[in-house]
Amino acid sequence: MSLLTEEVGIKPKHLRGVFCSNGTILTAPSGPNRTNLDPPSRPEVHCWCPSYPIKVHCSWLELPPTELLTHYDVTYSFKGGEIQQCRPYSVSMPVPPIPEPSLARVNNSSPGTMWLCVLEDLKLFTSYKLNVTAVNPVGSASHLQLFTLEDIVKPDPPVNVTVKVVPGKLKLLVKWAPPPSWSDHTLFPLMYKLRYQWKNKGNSHEIILEPFEVTKKYLPGLSPGRSYLIQVCSMEHMGLGQCSAWSPPVTVTMATD
């Protein structure tokens, strides 16, 4: 047992499968067996590219919190390339776009700290290896991930979404602005998808809008007296990655006559 584990009073039987200071491979306990003096849990890291091809965001939640100070070593590289480091920083929760299942775990868990690392100077159509290692005085745990920029493109949602009823018609005019974080609208234009549905029930309808960079859409043939929820998402014009999260819903009610 190392001096570090002796100092914090950890018994070896409680530490299995995590790297300790004496070189032993131990494993962090889970569930009810965990204590506030255990090695860190393996980070669950989610990466996405909100500004293709300029940068990639990687985030993770530090759960469960412990009494031991934890820091993170983050490196990334491509085959044959120099290993680069990224300095993570804590941010307010949640950092979009964390997948919905992960958000559910966050909301149902004890409070933790959200961390974010921004990877820059990346190459197109190149496979990268990411290593995020959580380290505290009694051990460490690593998350390894392979990615290419094109697979993880996910723009931020459109902003300034407005919806107006066209006077005298059962028609809506929806307008929005591109996400400010998207870096190059000339080489990498955005397309948009619009979703609308009745407020209280009914199926949603989605429309992919063309040409590129269009930022308004008329919705005709709506029902009088109905309230509708309107949302917009943004997507890379060649279909790389996935659509952004939906913009916050805007509610509008059609006139009765």
DSSP per-residue string spanning 152-171? SB-PPPPEEEEEEEPTTSS-
Candidates 235, 150, 243; CA nearest to 191 is 235
CB atoms within 10 A of CB 160: 10
pLDDT surpassing 90 at residue 215: yes
Q: Note the pLDDT tens digit of each residue in 78-88.
A: 998 999 999 99
Q: How far apart are CA 222 and CA 133, in angstroms?
A: 53
Q: How far apart are CA 174 and CA 233, in angstroms?
A: 13
Candidates 133, 73, 24; CA nearest to 10 is 24
DSSP 211: S
**Looking at the DSSP assignment, which residues form a beta bridge with residue 118?**
57
pLDDT surpassing 50 at residue 65: yes
Q: Which two tokens stand for residue 113?
A: 């700290």
**Looking at the DSSP assignment, which residues form a beta bridge with residue 71?**
135
Beta strand pairing call for 250-253 and 216-219: unpaired
Residue 189's φ and ψ, nearest 5 degrees, are: -70, 160
What pLDDT sits at residue 18? Answer: 44
Going along the chain, which residue ranges are E strands? 46-51, 55-62, 71-78, 84-86, 89-91, 113-120, 128-136, 139-147, 159-165, 172-177, 190-198, 205-209, 216-219, 227-236, 250-253
Q: Is the dihedral of CA 48, 51, 53, 59 positive or negative?
A: negative
pLDDT surpassing 80 at residue 52: yes
Mean pLDDT, rounded, of the chain: 82
Reported as a pLDDT band with limits 50, 70 and 90, residue 31 is low
Q: How far apart are CA 166 and CA 61, in angstroms?
A: 45
Candidates 60, 88, 90, 91; CA nearest to 75 is 88
Q: Note the pLDDT tens digit of each residue in 131-164.
A: 999 999 989 999 999 999 999 999 999 999 999 9
